[in-house]
Structure 1
Amino acid sequence: MNEVLIVGEDICQQVVGQADAFAAVEAVFAAMHRGEARNFPVVREALGHAEALYGFKSGFDRAGHVLGVKSGGYWPGNIERGLTNHQSTVFLFDPDTGQLSALVGGNYLTAVRTAASSAVSIAYLARKDARVLGMVGAGHQSTFQLRAAAVQRAFEKVVAWNPHPEMLPRLAAVAEELGLEFEAVSPQELGAQADVIITITSAFEPLLQADWIRPGTHLACMGTDTKGKMEVDPALLAKATVFTDEVAQSVTIGEAQHAVAQGLIRADDVTPIGAVINGNHPGRGKDADITLFDGTGVGLQDLAVASVAVQLASQRGLAGRAAL
């Protein structure tokens, strides 16, 4: 009989904090670059029902001894039901036997690992003197992004824009909580003020134009994870030094897909963030350089934070157990 640990959404929120997620994501990016962890091909399809996207992300981290799969997707009508639009569950398996070892709620962990990913990029690529944070998007994940980013630099102000401005108060409330000035601005003004910009939307068209972004800016583009999606002008990637979680995803389903398709950049122009973490790439060259992190969201991020959730929940006696 096989015992399976169960860590639900509420327990994940209790045990996994920003620092835990940051450390897990940083470590798995480094392992990916060393060739000690790899993601398997992503399956992501439109259901033709409820306007939903559904799929699987999986992989194996030999360094962390983590094997598993995240199953889930995006249901745009969920917010009207009082539910999170992103719904997912992580299944972890024993790498030595293949037996199921844990079931972990994936909704909170998806948000916190996505925020950790952009935070890692800010830590390694943003100018040290960055003081203004720009937020494009004000959905569920935006508050996680803001909280995680605020730890990485001594930000003094948040400027934000969202296609639906009535959603901006949620970001304003978090900024106030963090002691940061907040201003709702146009996309052009956001580009003119921000030292660091996070985009976290489900857009299929550019929300920021290349000539709106000033020299020295770092962008973390976190919303594009499907063929056809787009958050920024492809010409911006040609002006920037581009980094990503995984190159193969970046150029096929990430923000880089459009710049590559238009011949503005090549796959070789995109650098894994793990190369910077491991010290094999200098990251930002000059203060005036524009850097861009294409956060496509890889399965290994989910598995890493889910593994941490299981460890911490087990240590605190909070994990449920079931026999299979």
Structure 2
Amino acid sequence: MWIVPEREIAGLMTRAAAFDAVEQVFAAMASGDACNFPVVREALGHEDALYGFKGGFDRAGLTLGLKAGGYWPHNLERRGLINHQSTVFLFDPDTGKPSAMVGGNLLTALRTAAASSVSIKHLARPDAKVIGMIGAGHQATFQLRAALEQRAFDKVIGWNYHPEMLPNLAQVAEEAGVPFEAVDLPGMDEADVIISITSAFSPSLMADHVSPGTHIACMGTDTRGKQEVEAALVARASVFTDEVAQSVSIGEAQHAIAEGLITQADLIQLGAVINGTHPGRTSDDQITLFDGTGVGLQDLAVAAAVVNLAIDRSVAIQVDF
């Protein structure tokens, strides 16, 4: 079995490689070549943590495994650790033997950012110029860096529950040579693309905060009860998702469906747009929304890629397990 420690990931996995892996796995899911397993996601009742498992099998890529981990909201303030902690385990699909254990913290950040970027590539208007960020934590910086590579944005606007964290976004914008402005939530109506990446259980982005033609990537809702945007906004949009089953049960769409505003039949797999079996955006005034729940196959795809790179560069550790 190969082990790729967390400390090696930054030198192996790039944003571009993560983007390609996620785009390919979304396409495989939509064509029926890959499937995710039901998610286990539970509150521990200890340290306010959420913990769970995401797994799946990609028959085309022969990738089988799971990611174990979750969200410990007090890690940063109490221990100097990032709040999201995870590890990916890969198995030989022919024998069931474990083949690799991979540090999943940076990979999770990269694959989550890649997912929203894939949605921007395929759903945002080509002439999008202003990108809005809701959330300014650790993951938000990855989201913004990846998103800025998808369109010729000339402005970043941002809002966060804790405004003192907005300099995180301002720094990323400055690195990219793009001006940054802090706004109130109604100011999001200036944005052509909005990424929401919070851990909220009540909505902040409302339907009247969003202009026609906007693409929204909802990336923080991955648990029953979480909610980042108003259900009426979901109902107003054309909704695309990584996986329909997860969107209905733990994604942003759960609330609009519970209120009877949309049905499961209204949800479209983003992979269908990538494969060309769905047209995606059909007008400049259409609001598109990507419900990014985070599927296990994303984690497996980037982990498998990083294992191969680590072996090639002699930084993977081989153990007899």
TM-score (norm 1): 0.98
Alpha-carbon distance in structure 1 between the residues aligned to 2:147 and 2:215 = 12
Alpha-carbon distance in structure 1 between the residues aligned to 2:305 and 2:135 = 28
Question: 2:221 matched to 1:224?
Answer: yes
Question: 2:39 matched to 1:42?
Answer: yes
Alpha-carbon distance in structure 2 between the residues aligned to 1:144 and 1:257 = 26
Alpha-carbon distance in structure 1 between the residues aligned to 2:135 and 2:266 = 27
Question: 2:278 matched to 1:274?
Answer: no
What RMSD in Å do the two structures reach over aligned CA positions?
A: 0.6
Deviations 1:249-288 (A, max 9, x none): 0011000000000000000100000000000000001001
Counterpart residue type for residue 250 of structure 2: I
| Number of equivalences | 320
Alpha-carbon distance in structure 1 between the residues aligned to 2:62 and 2:184 = 46
Aligned-pair CA distance for 1:323: 1.0
Deviations 1:161-185 (A, max 9, x none): 0000001111101100000110011
Counterpart residue type for residue 282 of structure 1: P
Partner of 2:179: 181
Question: 2:142 matched to 1:170?
Answer: no
Counterpart residue type for residue 269 of structure 1: D
Partner of 2:83: 85
Task: Tell me if structure 1 keeps the 8 A contact 2:193–2:216.
Answer: yes
Task: Tell me if structure 1 keeps the 8 A contact 2:186–2:208.
Answer: no
- Gaps (5+ residues) in structure 1? none
Deviations 1:81-112 (A, max 9, x none): 10010000000001111100000000000000
Secondary structure at the aligned position of 2:121 is classed as helix
Aligned-pair CA distance for 1:12: 1.1
Partner of 1:97: 95
Secondary structure at the aligned position of 1:142 is classed as helix
TM-score (norm 2): 0.99
Deviations 1:58-99 (A, max 9, x none): 100011110001000100000111001000000000111110
Aligned-pair CA distance for 1:129: 0.2
Partner of 1:214: 211
Counterpart residue type for residue 152 of structure 1: Q
Between the aligned residues of both structures, percent identity stands at 68
Q: 1:298 aligns with which of 290, 295, 298?
A: 295
Deviations 1:210-268 (A, max 9, x none): 01110000000000000000000000111110000000000110000000000000001
Alpha-carbon distance in structure 2 between the residues aligned to 1:147 and 1:221 = 16
Alpha-carbon distance in structure 2 between the residues aligned to 1:36 and 1:209 = 36
Alpha-carbon distance in structure 2 between the residues aligned to 1:8 and 1:255 = 33
Secondary structure at the aligned position of 2:198 is classed as coil
Partner of 1:8: 5
Counterpart residue type for residue 125 of structure 2: R
Deviations 1:13-33 (A, max 9, x none): 111000000000000000001
Q: 1:149 aligns with which of 147, 150, 153?
A: 147
Alpha-carbon distance in structure 2 between the residues aligned to 1:12 and 1:307 = 12
Counterpart residue type for residue 43 of structure 1: V
Aligned-pair CA distance for 1:8: 1.2
- Gaps (5+ residues) in structure 2? none
Partner of 2:127: 129
Q: 2:305 aligns with which of 308, 311, 322?
A: 308
Structure 1 runs, 4 residues or longer, greater than 4 Å off: none
Aligned-pair CA distance for 1:35: 0.6
Aligned-pair CA distance for 1:34: 0.7
Aligned-pair CA distance for 1:320: 1.1
Partner of 1:22: 19
Alpha-carbon distance in structure 1 between the residues aligned to 2:145 and 2:260 = 36
Partner of 1:107: 105
